[in-house]
Structures are given as C-alpha cells and as structure tokens.
Amino acid sequence: MNRKTTEENRISVQIKRIYEPPAPEDGIRILVDRLWPRGISKGQASIDEWMKEIAPSPELRTWFGHRPERFEEFTDKYEQELSLDPTRCGLVDRICELAVHNNVTLVYAAKDPFHNHAVVLLRWIQGRP
C-alpha cells in the first residue's frame, strides 16, 4: 500500500489491491479498473465509486498485458491519456477534491503491485501542483 499526503493540499491518496480486506483507514474506496475484478462481489469490494473511464484505454491495456518490460513505455502512454483526455482529467480532479477532506484509496485488481496502472495514476496525482 502506498500513501501520499501533501501539506499544502492536505490530500491523502493511496492504492490497494481489491483482494486485500477493506479497512476503516481506506476512507473512500474508488475502483480504478475498467473491468470488474474476478471473484469479488460488489459487497466484498466495499467500493464507494467505480471510475472505469480513468483506467487505460482498452487498446493500451491489451498492448501492455502486464508485462514488466513494457511498463516504462506503458507509463508514458498512460500519462498521455491522463493529460489529454478531459474525462480522465475531470476524474483526477474529483479524486483530489475528495482527498482534501477524506482518505482516498484507489483500488485495483492487478497481481503485480509495482507494474500496474494504479501505480502510474497515484504518481500522476502526486505530481499535480
């Protein structure tokens, strides 16, 4: 689990696999995957919001295929999608607004905790002024 709190903005955002049990310190839980995770019911997920549109495009997700050797290029391409798509920009703004007054946990299903889109998204949010 990764957590980022900035003093200026006072935001708290972290990431967590959906297969880890929900915890009170998760705060608002937002699923950031385009597809619903396998083997998890909506009740088990304890999701407050599902932001399908913030996930990488289906084409990018398919190309990446969770292959670590493609992660650097995937990161560049996903960051382009985040910066150029108004819908994704609006969702990032919403996450930041929620995180001003609440802990926010971005929930994802990928097996690899280091090479996935939630890691890129968290860093993207952390890098915002």
Per-residue pLDDT tens, the chain, 129 aa: give them: 554 444 444 689 999 999 999 999 999 999 999 999 999 998 899 999 999 999 999 999 999 999 999 999 999 999 999 999 999 999 999 999 999 999 999 999 999 999 999 999 999 999 887
pLDDT (0 to 100) of residue 40? 95
pLDDT (0 to 100) of residue 8? 47
pLDDT (0 to 100) of residue 128? 81
pLDDT (0 to 100) of residue 6? 41
Return the H-helix or E-strand segment holding 3.
strand 2-5
